Amino acid sequence: MSSPDTASAHSSVRSEENATAIPIESEIYIDPVVEKRLLRKLDFRLISFAFFSYFTSNLVRNNMQNAYTNGMDVDVGIDSEAYNWCVTFFFIGYIIPQIPTNMFVARLLPKYFLPTAEIIWGVITCCIAVVKTPNAVWGLRFIMGMAQATFVPSMVFIIGSWYTNSELATRTAIFMAGNQMSGAIGGIIAAGVNNNLNGAAGKASWQWLFIIEGLMSIFVGLVGYYLLPNYPHNTNWVQGEEKDCAIARLERQGKQLKSQKYTWDTFLNVLATPYAYLLTLDFICINIGNQIPLNFSIIMKKMGYDANLANYLVSPIYGLGAITIVIIGWISDKYGERAWIIIIVQIWVAVWYLVLFAVNHAATPFWLLMLSSFAIINNISMFPLVFSFINEIFALDANTRALAIACINCIGNLVPNFISIGIWKVTDAPEFFLGKVVTFALSVASVIITFVCWWCLKHNVNLPRVRDKKEQPEFPEMDDDVDEKKA
């Protein structure tokens, strides 16, 4: 696994592709001038929308922590248990529709359904500003989760439908850096709103927080109708030689772009291979490893620090995360490496959780808390690598790829949420001893799981099987001109 073209998971997948009768048409000529022009256009439109949409998505998803520290706990009567359920109800709504809707993402027009979903969750966020009871918050958070359910897996699928393996991790990392920037700027927004808008127009600062961040989502959603593409064969602003280039780039790697009928082979390509299980377990372990940065404001408040200071101090932590996630994604693409980067970072994260629970007490030195938060935030950089793995391993069939992304993302978010409720209880702050011990163990488990996945890929163990197109008739194709007529 030493270079983008020779070893790693890429080469393992490619060799299996050759063995399963879909040739890699490496001789296809692609005009580099046209390709660069296409990439500039895609980066500006697709990746910029993905970044800002993920930014607002996580801003409204995670603003409960800032609202909680800015008075929502008192005004609405949200205690620690009710707070945990606010988070849980979001994920229940997030999980329920995720697999069914994303099974058919290849047949939908993302240019329309993704911006519409963003506008819906923006409106719901604004509505939370007027709630009076925890039950109302739970209901609205549930609906918000349903609106966001299709976003991440659909965006990962769309990126995998335009970019080649040597470009995937970088673009996915830029997309997911929106998550980090929401953490960096979210604290500043919350502190600024608390200082300047508390009591304005008769509303508390936490109410203004929901209104402002909801309106931001609505704005990004409206712009998305213009920016976002569909797929290489039916995007109105990719035509002629650029369209041919976009399709040829992916055909050269053996990627299938158009949806076929779901058959038992589709499900077996996911469920009968070890990779879906390994990557799901890895996703769970990595996801739980983010808890120190996620709970930073609460830890600071419980240690006696001012809420505004806690909100401000979160910003540089996530700002560093936004930078490192892109750097690590770029390194992964440059050297064609996924697994060993995950292993190294997970060892790094495990060491810091070991340090934290070794010196665990309420009066943990401030410098140690800050330093460990800066170190652990790099854990989030692993998500683009896992998603790139999925896009590569399941690339030969569009439905299989969509199903794998949805299943792994769904279970990988559901399980950590319920585990975190039990081991990262707000009432355990600021020590969180149990959470630190369990998270350390899971980081070590991630190292082992990733190594097993690497070994299986290296030895071509039971890779997804290419389906015979003659045996698998396609859905009636969507009208390629649908987008052009509406745009």
Q: Could you tell me if residue 473 is inside a domain?
A: no
Q: Could you tell me if residue 3 is inside a domain?
A: no
Number of domains in the chain: 1
Query: Which residues form the domain of 74?
Result: 8-466
Greatest alpha-carbon span in the chain: 68
pLDDT band, residue 258 (cuts 50/70/90): low
The answer to whether the CB of 366 falls within 8 A of the CB of 232 is no
Q: Could you tell me if residue 65 is inside a domain?
A: yes
CATH (domain of 24): 1.20.1250.20
Residue range 395-433, pLDDT digits in tens: 878 889 999 999 999 999 889 988 988 898 878 888 888
Residue range 285-306, pLDDT digits in tens: 999 998 888 888 788 878 888 7
Upper half-sphere CA count for residue 33 (Cβ side, 13 Å): 1
Higher-confidence residue of 234 and 345: namely: 345
Q: Could you tell me if residue 275 is inside a domain?
A: yes
The yes-or-no verdict on residue 261 having pLDDT over 70 is yes
Of the chain, the percentage scoring pLDDT greater than 70 comes to 87
Q: Could you tell me if residue 1 is inside a domain?
A: no
Q: Could you tell me if residue 479 is inside a domain?
A: no
Q: Could you tell me if residue 319 is inside a domain?
A: yes
The answer to whether the CB of 273 falls within 8 A of the CB of 377 is no
Give one word for 240, left, alpha or beta, with left for phi > 0 and alpha for psi -120 to 50: left
Residue found under tokens 């053996």: 254
pLDDT band, residue 363 (cuts 50/70/90): low
Upper half-sphere CA count for residue 481 (Cβ side, 13 Å): 1
Question: How far is 272 from 21, CA to CA, in rounded Å?
Answer: 20
Q: What is the dihedral of CA 460, 260, 413, 53, to 10 degrees?
A: 120
Q: Which long-range contacts (CB under 8 A, 24 or more apart) does 245-250 make?
A: 245/30, 245/31, 245/34, 245/35, 245/38, 246/38, 246/162, 248/28, 248/30, 249/30, 249/35, 249/164, 250/161, 250/162, 250/164
| Predicted model pTM | 0.85
Q: Which pLDDT does position 65 carry in this prediction?
A: 77
The yes-or-no verdict on residue 389 having pLDDT over 90 is yes
Q: Could you tell me if residue 191 is inside a domain?
A: yes
Question: How far is 156 from 148, CA to CA, in rounded Å?
Answer: 14
Residue range 318-333, pLDDT digits in tens: 999 999 999 999 999 9
pLDDT band, residue 17 (cuts 50/70/90): very low
pLDDT band, residue 7 (cuts 50/70/90): very low
The residue type of 363 is: A
Q: Which pLDDT does position 257 carry in this prediction?
A: 66
DSSP classification of residue 436: H
85-99, 112-126, 169-183, 381-395: range with lowest mean pLDDT: 85-99
Give, in order, the Cα–Cα distances in Å from 175 to each of 159, 192, 197, 311, 373.
9, 26, 31, 24, 22
Residue found under tokens 């391993």: 393
- CA angle, corner 249, sides to 390 and 170, nearest 5? 50
